[in-house]
Chain A
Amino acid sequence: MAVKWDIGQPCTWYDVQTELPAAAEVVVIGGGVIGSAIARELTKYTPDVVILEKENDVADGTSKANNAMVHSGMGEEFGTLKQRLNVKGNAMYDDFVRGLNVEFWRNGMLVLFAPRSLGAEITANMTPEQVHEALAVNIPGLLLQDGVKKGIPGQRLVEREELFQLEPYVNPDTFVAVLDPTYGIVNPYKLTIALAENAVMNGARVVLNTLVTDVLVEKGSVSAVVTNRGTVKARYVVNAAGLFADEVARMVGDDSFKIHPRKGATLLFDKDLVGGLVRHSIAMARIPPDPHTKGGGAFPTVDGNIQFGATATEVDDKYDTSITAEEIERMLDRYPYMVPGFPTSAVISAFTGVRAPTGEEDFVIGPVEGAAGFVNAAGMQSPALASSPAIAEMVVEILHEMGVSSERREGWSGERPVCPIFSRMSSKDRESLIKGDERWGHVVCRCETVTEAEVANAIHGIIPATTMDAIKRRTRVGMGRCQGGFCGPRVAAILARELSIPVTAVTKDGEGSELFCCDTKVLLTEMV
């Protein structure tokens, strides 16, 4: 479903209450896609919901750095919670994003069966005919059967001729492919921001820069949430703390699971140079699976770029969002095989997210014994983004059972208007906006064509953007091929002006990430 952009509607500047409230019916810990989806779903029943987020913005954890795919459930082991919620969540997606004005479409997934799909250790004892039989018939057949069992609609085999019509650039040695038409791509950080903003429009609050340090339990029920900024009384607490969900669970005595961080690096390519080279998400079957690139492939993004990713590396540090030389090498070795001739020099960005799996490798959703009112939404590794509508629904059902009203509030609206987006407008619309406000005529980002007005709107949005990265997530400034070389000075100046702070206080992503040490000449005076 392509989004229709409403142009010319007035863009409201919000002045939202962001103080820590003394009490709330439900506190949601964590402003990732999961916390935001749950909060929004909750507002259908109660407005008294608060999201507490330790960072300066929502979508500042794993929800900003992933492969943005709405999987079908194909890749998950049959019968697991994540498999079931994935199949369900995927089917809910169109309704989920309706009204939010977030890019989402079902571009479909093609799983290639190519010579490298079978490891050399396996093919060593096979004749070429056997290899062909396995890769063109048997294994794809098993995948399709598995799909039927899981209830994934529409999967089918695609023979070579059709494959190269659909995707002319994929590996010409491919035997066959399996098409899964329900796969989609979404903008994950915009989705998270939209969910949180829509929750706010329906009465919830989002309080940023607030670290939950304890959850108090009295007489077997949660009573309050302690933060670095004070305490909030709460009857219900949802643990959507992503990588830190095990630590939050332990606050109420639940040590039934442990999160072991597993990072994934992704390369992003220039849309002008690679856009349209593949339109479906492209993956390749691999037996045995490569533990370091599980599920990876070449995936288009909703903005027209293509990404290669992601790697899978177990790490000790939950904050390890680095990319290593080996990871880069592995990606450049593995993925171009699926799309030979891919111009790998067109990389414009590389980023890393950290998955939050438990030892059992499944979602952990449910109440905790001895802490009534507390619900875990943990173990949120892939496909949690894809499953998020179903996860939110499940968590809210549990909360209903615990006592949160299950009566739909009147006046709830899933509509979340967005400010106009200059790059997608017609000349006529541009003209009329510039007439009304000349900041629409100042293009501050040359690569993505973003105007000063859009930057200002982001800063004064429902969830205000107060850092360079937060503005980037909302407007795309700095996401193009020059990576902020041109727009950096302009955006920093606008941010300083709108927040009434000196430019030297502007940060990339919160305290400690200041862009400047001082004004010029200051270091010289320090020297004498």
Chain B
Amino acid sequence: MRRLKPDCAVIGSGPAGLAAALAAWDAGLKKVVLIERDLELGGILPQCIHDGFGSIVFKETLTGPEYAQRFIDRLAGTGVEVLLDTMVLDLGADRKISAVSAAHGVVEIEPKSVVLAMGCRERTRHNVLIPGFRPAGVITAGLAQRWINIEGLMPGRRVVVLGSGDIGMIMARRFCLEGAEVEGVYELMDHPGGLTRNRVQCLDNFDIPLHLSHTVTFIHGRKRVMGVSVAAVDEAMKPVAQTERFIPCDTLMLSVGLIPENELSRKAGVELDEITGGPVVDDTMHTSVPGIFACGNVVNVYDLVDYVTQTAETAGRGAAAWVQAGGPEPQPRIRVLPGRNVSYVVPQYVTSLEREVNFYFRVEHPEKAVIARVSAGEEVLARKKAKMVRPPEMVRARAKPREFAAGAEVSEIIVDVVGADTAIEGAGDE
């Protein structure tokens, strides 16, 4: 049995946990513990051997392991205590953590603050209810990535991909590079689910066809996948029977979305947002439970690791400030609401406009030549021009610290997207 009483306990050591622990340490907390259930640090990054990480934070593109290593190296120079191979099983509203590990047995932690950084998990075939049999050979893209890149095992020779999320497209290319055949990528929506750059680099450059407005209607094979039926879908997303056809394959790889992993948050009674699937947070990444902060993909599935790192630094600093202030009572908060063509915004609350605040949001539908705005009544806090916005690509708008703190009382902040010509005068473009 081990008992710890740190100033801050960070759960999960992906890019979110790493940056949060570092930020909490840099902000002056003396005892910071980073808890990771895996045998190594880095979260999902060690298996992401493709490049494309770090263009905002480091202004260069790194592979996943390289990106993680920058933080791991920095961590070595701090006094942050790392508990690897340690699974957190329970978290209470009183912030008490119960974990187990082979090395330490049961670990009971009573931290002054907690940062949730558990990341997300993949949606499975059952979450999207694909009809058919339940044979071996139906796998999610992240799992395929782990099998191939970490374990050195090939899940199959001939692959059909359902869903055009980024990981799916990246793994379609990976299968090709490994000598497997990728018959095609089928996407329910009429637009790709991932970033345009991945579509070009992973599918187009490898001659992998992308079939939009299509879905898998049946999985064949009792023991191992023998093929799938696919069909085009109509406007109501229902398969059109006449278009159904059979494709022989031994593997169906799914890239049908990620779900923030919030079992622990739920146990602690943290309020979750129905749309994001993650905790409701304020601009310091404080959740509804005092002293519990959250960052990275546990809050919302960010497409870019750079955004994850930024939210994590905010969370780490936020936790430190809260502890250093002696755990103050919750302050009044300003609600942040999605406006025109915005499906959701993180953070959902802002405590102060005297600091810089990053608003991350997704649009509901693609739109060209727009301005994204953050406004409080008549006052525009941030605006940002974009040639194009699409649901798969998260938008970030940065509100600079308000110059005169004594500005008008703000009761509500609206984030919306408007056509470039309807935009009003306001704060300068980002």
Contacts and interface: CB of A to CB of B under 8 A. Distances in A.
A321 B135 CA distance: 10
A516 B154 contact: yes
The interface centre, meaning the residue of B37, B108, B153 with most chain A CB atoms within 10 A of its CB, is: B153
| Dominant secondary structure at the A interface | mixed
Contact of A439 (B102, B178, B250): B102
B380 interface: no
A524 B1 contact: no
B179 A526 contact: yes
A482 B122 contact: yes
A515 B136 contact: yes
Interface string B103-121: 1111010000000000001
Contacts of A527: 179
A15 interface: no
Contacts of B124: 348, 482-483, 485
Given A319-B222, A322-B131, A516-B154, A430 B106 contact: yes
Contacts of B122: 482, 485
Interface stretch (B141-149, B284-292, B341-349, B418-426): B141-149
B57 to A, nearest CB: 27
A218 interface: no
Contact of B147 (A449, A489, A523): A489
A442 B98 contact: no
Interface string A291-328: 00000000000000000000000000001011111011
Contacts of B146: 489
Nearest to B155: A516
B151 A350 contact: no
Given A434-B106, A482-B124, A523-B180, A323 B131 contact: yes
A272 B263 contact: yes
A392 to B, nearest CB: 30
Nearest to A451: B100
The interface centre, meaning the residue of A323, A348, A526 with most chain B CB atoms within 10 A of its CB, is: A323
B127 interface: yes
A439 B102 CA distance: 6
A376 interface: no
Contacts, number: 146
Contacts of B140: 485
Interface stretch (A189-197, A230-238, A501-509): A501-509
Contacts of A328: 129, 131
Interface size band for A: 35 or more
The interface centre, meaning the residue of A347, A488, A513 with most chain B CB atoms within 10 A of its CB, is: A513
Given A272-B263, A349-B126, A520 B153 contact: yes
Given A430-B105, A517-B250, A347 B129 contact: yes
Contacts of B103: 438, 441
A523 B157 contact: yes
A486 interface: yes
B155 to A, nearest CB: 6
B178 A523 contact: yes
Contact of B154 (A431, A489, A509, A518): A518
Contact of A434 (B89, B105, B108, B133): B105
A115 interface: no
A98 interface: no
A351 interface: yes
A512 B98 contact: no
A512 B221 CA distance: 10
Given A430-B100, A504-B153, A520-B152, 19 more contacts: A322-B132, A327-B131, A348-B126, A349-B126, A427-B106, A443-B100, A446-B37, A483-B126, A489-B150, A503-B151, A508-B135, A509-B223, A510-B223, A514-B224, A517-B154, A518-B154, A520-B154, A522-B154, A523-B157
14 contacts: A321-B134, A323-B132, A347-B129, A440-B102, A481-B121, A482-B122, A484-B143, A485-B124, A516-B155, A517-B156, A520-B148, A522-B154, A524-B179, A527-B179
Interface of B: 1, 37, 85, 87, 89, 98, 100-106, 108, 121-122, 124-127, 129, 131-137, 140, 142-143, 146-148, 150-157, 178-180, 217-218, 222-224, 239, 250, 263, 266
